[in-house]
Homo-oligomer: A and B are copies of this chain.
Amino acid sequence: MKAKIMIKSIDLFDEKGFTETSIQDIVDSIDATKGTFYYYFTSKQELLRDIHLTYIHNLLKEQAEIINDSSKNVKEKLYTMIYSIINKIETQGKYARIIFREMRHLDDANLEQIKQKRKEFRLNFEKLIQEGVDKGEFQSQVRTDILSFAILGMVNRTYYWFQPDGELSEEELTDLYMEMILNGIN
């Protein structure tokens, strides 16, 4: 039931916005009562925090699996990390949009917790790029923190324009990003 509330809320928040969605709207959409809602969450804000945390935990778990895959070199790991973000657009695009848009509705303690997780996610990119530099797979003189911000900015933005069912596949897009990241346009 907890998962069901979260999934339906994502739909409602995406359509109407967080502020405009009431707890009554949420329970009506799953034929439940407010009592059920308050059994799982103390407030709408706690629900929003849990949506954020679930999303980020899943991303971090997947990242850890990629990092620990000893069959891949750094370039292959970077490819897989980027692909795993693009690959989620179809199923989890709503999640990502809500996360960016409704962040400010979290209170300071919740926001801090989520910012830490997001930072961890970005730092995993930075560490991977640094590993590539250390091993001689990458030659760039650009600071690895800036590279991680740049790559994540580029890849995350995909959520706003890419049509997963369009003429370009998720694999092809990842290839193009990798070509640009590795070789530039010069």
A residues near B (Cβ < 8 Å) are: 17, 19-20, 100-101, 104-105, 129, 132, 138-143, 146-147, 149-158, 161, 168, 173, 176-177, 179-186
Contacts and interface: CB of A to CB of B under 8 A. Distances in A.
B140 A184 contact: yes
Contact of A181 (B156, B157, B184): B184
A159 to B, nearest CB: 10
Nearest to A103: B101
Contacts of A177: 146, 150
Given A17-B104, A100-B100, A180-B140, A153 B157 contact: yes
Contacts of A181: 180, 184-185
Contact of A147 (B139, B146, B185): B185
Nearest to A173: B146
A141 B179 contact: yes
Nearest to A186: B182
Contacts of A139: 185-186
B140 A185 contact: yes
Contact of A179 (B142, B149, B158, B168): B142
